[in-house]
Amino acid sequence: MAQILASPKSDPAAGPTVTPAATGSPNAPALIRENGQREVFCGLTSIVWLHRRMPDAFFLVVGSRTCAHLVQSAAGVMIFAEPRFGTAILGERDLAGLADANAELDRLVGHLLERRPEIRTLFLVGSCPSEVIKLDLAKAAERLQTQLAGRVRVLSYSGSGIETTFTQGEDNALLALVPLLPAAPVARDAGSTAAPPDQLLIVGTLADGVEDRFRSLFTRLGIPRIDSLPPRRASELPPVGPGTRVLLAQPFLSATARALVSRGAQLIPAPYPLGVEGSRAWMAAAAAAFGVAPAHVQAVLEPLVERGQRALAPHREVLAGKRLFLMPDSQLEIPLARFLARECGMELLEVGTPYLDRSLMAEELALLPPGVQLSEGQHVEHQLDRLRAARPDLVLCGLGLANPLEAEGIATKWSIELVFSPIHGIDQAGDLAELFARPLRRRALLSFG
């Protein structure tokens, strides 16, 4: 591995540092920490899927024309009769302090709500410019909330590039919802820590169909109450309290998980529900937390596992032995790498992630093949040097790099699709593998001779 790490033009100041990701184990993954140009989205991009998950919410970015341009470049190919996001663009008067930014914001929100009286939840979304000039959106949200009490709920979170990378925008949006979650009714045995949990809270955006499927499976397992965060309507928030067990469906929810724990909920440690193995372990962990007998779990899930493996088989034929390089993007990279290595037989060259939360990723790291090369952060030119030297069979990367790499003859799977596709659960394992097999099949299929 060392030879591909030594990039030809490596600058000692910005050069990679290699450390073991977890101490104590000889097979622990090696970690490259890098600093340089990062080819990633900012957290504002999360609006592109959150606006569909909660159609009764509106996302108002407070930022610059750049922010407006980003969101519309990402989502503007869809034609909206009623846009569900917009930008309050800061002007020179706002920066010079000539206009009272708070009064301006109140005026804009008034104008917006006049046009769109059906909005029930308004997210004020912070950006790089609003953070740099220290515009206090939390306070603005509080003030507007008081003015609009009873009509519209106003929340704030930051989706700025300086603080958040891509999916971390969802983490911050959910974090903003946590204080609004009603307190769960106190369990009968409130005083006792041995009180049985009474509610399973699945956290992280899931496709509707996947969510329904998980609900029905957890019900079959005998879990009494199942809720989701985010809900399908921003106004229908699930309760939380000491009887709540939190199961993270997405790996990028560090801040939300901590906030839920501080509201008394307990986190169920599990790998993430990608692939047959990960999804089974994820559901089994929840069942165990609710005291469901392992034999019952086995009885409910075994047919699914068997069918899931059958669905995987044809894709495994395409993927097995292929060498995979993952560029950092969404924090889904480690669970995806685990699934593709263990269940599809792919060889991992480098697993990049924008941010590594060791505690939330512990179960996943333990399942990775020994000694796998991890990288956190990015120096995109150095990483591309390593990539080209390794000549992978498939690269997971963002859309800024995908076509350029294809033109160099390197097959790619664009990573953003993974947050826009139903990929979670045992029943989706085949579809998830197909997303990676498809570009390879397509390359084999096309011929222009």
Partner 1 sequence: MELTLWTYEGPPHVGALRVAASMEGVHLVLHAPQGDTYADLLFTMIERRGRRPPVTYTTFQARDLGGDTAELVKRSIAEAAARFQPEALLVGESCTAELIQDQPGALAQGMGLGDLPVVSLELPAYSKKENWGAAETFYQLVRNLLKDQLPPPGQAKPEPTRWRQEGRRPRVNLLGPTLLGFRCRDDVRELSRLLAEHGIDVSVVAPLGARPADLLRLPSADLNVCLYPELAGPVCGWLERSFGMATVRTVPIGIGATAAFLRELHGLLGLELPAELEPGAGGVSEAERRSRLPWYSRSVDSTYLTGKRVFIFGDASHAIAAARVASQELGFQVVGLGSYSRELAREVRAAAAELGLEALITDDYLAVEAAMAAAAPELVLGTQMERHSAKRLGIPCAVISTPLHVQDVPARQAPQMGWEGANELFDAWVHPLMMGLEEHLIGMFRHDFEFVEGHRSHLGGAPPAEAPPAAIAVEAPSAPAPAVPAAAAASGSLEAALAWTPDGEAQLARIPFFVRGKVRRNTERYAREHGLSAISEEVLFDAKAHFSA
Nearer Cβ to partner 1, position 57 or 402? 402
Contacting residue, 112, 138, 367, 389, with partner 1 by CB under 8 A: 112
Number of H helices, E strands in the chain: 17, 15
Contacting residue, 3, 17, 79, 295, with partner 1 by CB under 8 A: 79
Report how far residue 39's alpha carbon sits from residue 165's, in angstroms, rounded to the nearest whole number. Answer: 10
N residues, the chain: 449
58-77 residues near partner 1, rule: CB under 8 A: 62, 64-66, 68-70, 72-74, 76-77
Q: Locate tokens 């109450």: which residue?
A: 225
Nearer Cβ to partner 1, position 300 or 396? 396
Which of the ranges 33-41, 136-144, 202-210, 271-279 carries the binding residues for partner 1, by CB under 8 A?
33-41
Identify whether the C-beta of residue 217 lies closer than 8 Å to the C-beta of residue 202.
no
Contacting residue, 111, 139, 310, 391, with partner 1 by CB under 8 A: 111
Contacts of 359 (CB under 8 A, 6+ apart): none
164-223 residues near partner 1, rule: CB under 8 A: 165
Grouping H, G, I as helix, E, B as strand and the rest as coil, residue 113 is helix
CB of 336 to partner 1, least distance (A): 21
Nearer Cβ to partner 1, position 398 or 430? 398
CB of 361 to partner 1, least distance (A): 21
DSSP letters spanning 369-391? PTT-EEEEEE-HHHHHHHHHHH-
The token pair at 366 is 């333990």
127-166 residues near partner 1, rule: CB under 8 A: 128-129, 131-133, 160-163, 165
Contacting residue, 28, 31, 40, 234, with partner 1 by CB under 8 A: 40
What stretch of H or E contains 60? strand 57-63
Nearer Cβ to partner 1, position 42 or 201? 42
362-421 residues near partner 1, rule: CB under 8 A: 381, 399-404, 406-407
How many CA atoms does the CB half-sphere of 68 hold within 13 Å? Answer: 10
- List the strands of the sheet with 199-203, edge to edge: 226-229, 199-203, 244-248, 266-267
What stretch of H or E contains 304? helix 294-319
**For residue 208, how many other CB atoms are within 10 A of its CB?**
11
CB of 135 to partner 1, least distance (A): 10
CB of 104 to partner 1, least distance (A): 4
CB of 249 to partner 1, least distance (A): 24
Nearer Cβ to partner 1, position 218 or 355? 355
Nearer Cβ to partner 1, position 161 or 308? 161
Which of the ranges 31-39, 219-227, 293-301, 431-439 carries the binding residues for partner 1, by CB under 8 A?
31-39
Identify whether the C-beta of residue 309 lies closer than 8 Å to the C-beta of residue 268.
no
308 closest CA partner among 428, 435, 437, 438? 428
CB of 137 to partner 1, least distance (A): 13
Identify whether the C-beta of residue 238 lies closer than 8 Å to the C-beta of residue 181.
yes
The token pair at 273 is 């529900």
Contacting residue, 83, 231, 242, 369, with partner 1 by CB under 8 A: 83
Contacting residue, 82, 236, 306, 417, with partner 1 by CB under 8 A: 82
Identify whether the C-beta of residue 230 lies closer than 8 Å to the C-beta of residue 205.
yes
CB of 351 to partner 1, least distance (A): 20
Nearer Cβ to partner 1, position 172 or 244? 172
CB of 415 to partner 1, least distance (A): 12
How many CA atoms does the CB half-sphere of 172 hold within 13 Å? Answer: 26
Q: Taking CB under 8 A as the rule, does residue 15 contact partner 1? A: no
**C-alpha dihedral over 52, 56, 59, 60, to 10 degrees?**
150
> What x-and-dash track marks residues 84-103 binding partner 1 by CB under 8 A?
-xxxxxxxx-xx---x-x--
The token pair at 34 is 């890098």
DSSP letters spanning 207-264? -HHHHHHHHHHHHHHT-S-EEEES-SSTT-PPPBSTTEEEEESSTT-HHHHHHHHHTT
Question: Which residues make up the interface to partner 1 (CB under 8 A)?
Answer: 9, 11, 13-14, 36-45, 62, 64-66, 68-70, 72-74, 76-77, 79-83, 85-92, 94-95, 99, 101, 104-105, 107-108, 111-112, 115, 128-129, 131-133, 160-163, 165, 381, 399-404, 406-407
